[in-house]
Amino acid sequence: MKNYEVLVVGSGPAGLATALYLLQMQPALAGRIATLERARHPRPKVCAGGLIPRTITALKELRIPLQVPAVEVFGGLARTPAGTIDLAPSHEPLCTIIRRDQFDAMLARHARAAGLEIIDQTRVLGVEQHHDCVTVATDHGLFEGRALVGADGSGSRVRTSVFGQTKHNIGRALMADMPVHGERAEEFIQRCYRFNFNCVSAGICGYCWSFPCLIEGEPHLNVGIYDQHPHNPLGSRRDLLGQLLSAFPEIASRWPGDGESAVKTFPIRWYEPNDRYVRGGTILAGDAAGVDPLMGEGISCAFEHGKLAAAALVRYLNGDRSALEKYGNELHRGMIGRKLRRLAFAARCFYGTHHRFYFRLAGLSRKLQRVSVDWYNGARGIDELSIARAALRMMLHGSV
């Protein structure tokens, strides 16, 4: 039995952000926090890899420079069932696109330097809760901690062991990477990303994307499709791939082989207001808890959850037995909970029966488009305001 103050399962952005914030708040915990990771960094990770400004702000809070290859995006183009929305270039990046294997490995290096022990190639088998500790059984033996953070993704073993198995709020994404000539691809020429929501008219609750990225220094496009409800009759892999090719027909000639073999599939658990995130000494963070239902974005949620989890763990370790429950309440009623509820409402509007009306509404005002994107991105902290208050401030003062 190996004993720690805090055990974290999963060393992706949520688990590492929790450890980094915790060690920043309480440096004396160095050497007393461990992360159980089933792979080893740098490990492959299927993800679009978009860092919105809210995530960049979190990295600055943690004093971590972005030391991996990245492509900054300043504009965007979205095709919708009601027309095309062209988001004019911004003075600040709308998104910074990285590769997750490199990004996660960078976070892991900083976390190790701060005092986190990463126990890799260790698979979690089960979790047992006691009055004053949590025991985690793995294929490498038992580990015990005063508290446990489940940050092991959408298919979280911790979540299943402690909270039971739920699949109703798991979406799915298909993704592929394709080499391109940077001087010919619109995404690189315009420094923009492209979205296509026309699949909503075909019954898919989601969208297609095309992001510019660098793989081993060479320009590529990261293309994919997100479906919030993949269990509907039109949610088969073949249906989704067909919608992706319809959205970006030019990519068909760039895929190796039959194209389908180049596609990777991954689950996305989205925020559900009725979910619980705390039980005893165990809490959930990141994808294990649930991310943005509208776009499936999870990296910013991982850092927000990690910061809140770290603050709660400090209070818990210092004797506040209610601190973890307060963390669960914060995920529902605090800023991140309010934002995710609003995004869930937006998903019901844009992916629902009357989606054409809402897409038409979204295309009416460039100012509203800009403030909506800035609110989504957390630019300058305006996601702490409601969209209405942010829009009012823009009308009164010309900026947010």
Give the C-alpha distances (Å, rounded to integers) separating 231 from 19, 22, 128, 338. 35, 38, 32, 27
Mean pLDDT on 12-36: 98
Contact 122, 38 (CB under 8 A): yes
Distances (CA, A) of 55 to 96, 148, 212, 283, 291: 10, 24, 18, 22, 14
Q: Quick one: fold of 2-74+95-166+272-343? A: FAD/NAD(P)-binding domain (3.50.50)
**pLDDT score, position 166:** 85
Is 261 a residue whose pLDDT tops 70? no
Secondary structure of residue 269 in the 3-state scheme = strand
pLDDT at 368 over 90: no
pLDDT in tens, 177-220: 999 998 989 999 999 999 999 999 999 999 999 999 999 999 99
Choose the weakest-confidence range: 112-116, 355-359, 391-395.
391-395
The residues spanned by each domain of the chain are: 2-74+95-166+272-343, 170-269, 365-397
DSSP string, 70-139: -EEE-EEEEEETTEEEEEPPPSS-SEEE--HHHHHHHHHHHHHHHTEEEE-S--EEEEEE-SS-EEEEET
Q: What percent of the chain has pLDDT over 70?
A: 94
Fold match flag (2-74+95-166+272-343 vs 170-269): no
Q: How far apart are CA 362 and CA 238, in angstroms?
A: 30
More confident residue, 83 or 395: 83
Which residue has better confidence, 89 or 352? Answer: 352
Does the pLDDT value for residue 323 go beyond 90?
yes
> pLDDT-based confidence at 235, cuts 50/70/90?
low
Backbone angles phi, psi at 154, to 5 degrees: -65, -30
Does residue 256 have a cis bond before it (omega within 30 degrees)?
no
Is the confidence at residue 392, as pLDDT, over 60? yes
Reported as a pLDDT band with limits 50, 70 and 90, residue 263 is confident
Answer yes or no: is pLDDT of 257 > 60: no
Domain covering 170-269 assigned CATH 3.30.1380 in the classification = no
How much of the chain, in percent, has pLDDT values that exceed 90? Answer: 80
In this prediction, residue 163 carries a pLDDT of: 94
- Checking if the pLDDT of 339 tops 60, the result is yes
Under DSSP, the state recorded for 271 is P
Lowest mean pLDDT among 145-149, 233-237, 282-286, 330-334: 233-237
Q: Which residue has the higher pLDDT, 398 or 178?
A: 178
